[in-house]
Structure 1
């Protein structure tokens, strides 16, 4: 009789344990299912490209005179500045757009056979720089190429490559990000549709770096690029977006 009571007790305990497990499963199932649904998401990268033309050019050049006598070097450099300004004005640059730097003076020393300076001054080199900023980028490009003609006037002139900028870049970036986000949404919709799902609300968006490169260039940088060497440029905006899945 005692043996039968023990067996009956074990059966009852087993039944109660099984029932408890079933109840727990039912209680936990719905929250877990809801959690999994909320955490289902898709992350995509969207991009947008736009070609633009620079609307500002900055060009710099320099010229120098070197003579034994400092006063002669200064006089000669002053005459060179008159020639440089006259040349640029004839090329269509208003004189008030020509920014002239102060004169830089650098003594040139005599060196001995061992290559060491003797401390004796051999001559004086005086250098002056000019800078022009203009919205007529094509004119600046042409002048930068032809400015070495000043050499024919005995001006030792060094023309630097112009820098080209797009001044409305900040406003353009806002539009580009909107286009990149739209592209990301379209990509997400296609990916979700391929599995019989559809995208839900936007969960997060992270802006990538902007790449401003010459047209048809494949150069990129993790920190972004800002090309100033070309008149015609291409800007690329990238955004990483996460959408919920329904």
Structure 2
């Protein structure tokens, strides 16, 4: 009798254990039903803001004279740019940079014996920030009039920006997320399953490159400022449950 009871208890225990194991396996199997995808989107856009800088300098043995000459150049630069149609409110002149310059003295054997003061070198920059991109581009390329007027003017390459970048990023992120869901739905359908809820989503880095350029993406995100026409792109890594 005792053996029969023991056998019965063992049998019940085995049944319960098997049920628990089956349930655990079923839960593990179900929890593993996840599909991982990467959605992406890109858009071409045109910059709407240009930033251009130029610099000019004067040198003299007397600081006061060098400063006066530089101020004359500032007036020439201001007059020239406004005559070219640049809004005076878009001109920003920097503080004057003053540098003492020296040259080495040598003996008959070519050894340095000291140095002597050669004058004060003063430099100033002007920055133009405007939405009239075409006009500023043209001015940046045509500064010969200033040079002919005696201004040692150096024109830098313009930089291009987009003032509605925040809105563009939100729109691009929405498109990348939609692309990820479509990919996940396609995978689920081909696997004979249905797509469940979103489990996780990780946004990638925004990359802004020049259109049709060979610029490489970077981990911190590429931000092109040298091209007027640009391409923005983003990826989103997503995980969905399957049911």
1:117 and 1:228 map into 2 onto residues whose CA distance is 45
- Hey, what's the Cα distance between the residues in 2 that align with 1:104 and 1:143? 24
Aligned-residue offset at 1:39: 3.2
SS in 1 for 2:143: helix
Cα pair 1:109 1:117 within 8 Å, conserved: no
**What is the CA distance between 1:216 and its match in structure 2?**
2.0
Find the aligned partners of 2:204 and 2:237 in 1 and give their Cα distance: 7
C-alpha displacement at 1:27, in angstroms? 3.0
Following superposition, the deviation at residue 192 of structure 1 comes to 1.8
Rounded to whole Å, the distance in 1 between the matches of 2:112 and 2:17 is 91
Deviation at 1:154, TM superposition (A): 1.5
Distance 2:171 2:5 in 1: 71
Higher mean C-alpha displacement, 193-202 vs 43-52: 193-202
Counterparts of 1:71 and 1:57, CA distance in 2: 35
**How far does residue 25 in structure 1 lie from its aligned partner after superposition?**
0.8
User: For residues 234 and 116 of structure 1, do their structure 2 counterparts lie closer, same or farther at Cα, with a shift above 3 Å needed?
Assistant: farther
DSSP-derived class of the 1:143 partner: helix
Match of 1:206 in 2: 202
Question: Scaled by the length of structure 2, what TM-score is found?
Answer: 0.89
SS in 2 for 1:112: strand
Structure-to-structure mapping, 1:38-53, within 5 angstroms: 38-53=31-46
Residue 60 of structure 2 is matched in structure 1 by: 67
1:197 Cα deviation after fit: 1.6
Counterpart-to-counterpart distance in 2, 1:212 and 1:164: 12
Report how far residue 115 of structure 1 moved: 5.1
The alignment's TM-score, normalised by the length of structure 1, stands at 0.88
Equivalent pair of 1:148/1:158 in contact (CA under 8 Å): no
Distance in 2, matches of 1:152 and 1:73, equals 19
Where does residue 87 of structure 1 map in the other structure?
Answer: 80
2:236 maps to 239
Secondary structure of 1:226's counterpart equals coil
Question: Residue 130 of structure 1 corresponds to which residue in structure 2?
Answer: 126
- Give 5+ residue unaligned stretches, structure 2: none
- Report the Cα distance in structure 2 between the residues aligned to 1:205 and 1:148, rounded to whole angstroms: 55
Trace 1:20-35 onto structure 2 (pairs within 5 A): 20-35=13-28
Say whether residues 1:159 and 2:128 are aligned partners: no
- Once the two structures are superposed, residues 143-171 of structure 1 have per-residue CA deviations (whole angstroms, 9 ceiling, x without a partner) of 22223542122211111111111111112
Offset of residue 82 of structure 1: 1.6
SS of residue in 2 equivalent to 1:144: helix
Q: Cα deviations across residues 14-34 of structure 1 (Å, max 9, x unaligned)?
A: 676455323311233134313
Match among 198, 221, 226 for residue 224 of structure 1: 221
* Structure number with larger C-alpha Rg: 1
Superposed displacement of residue 68, structure 1: 2.2
C-alpha distance in 1, partners of 2:153/2:62? Answer: 21
Q: Check conservation: 1:61, 1:159, Cα contact below 8 A.
A: yes
| Structure 2 residue corresponding to 1:186, chosen from 182, 189, 193 | 182
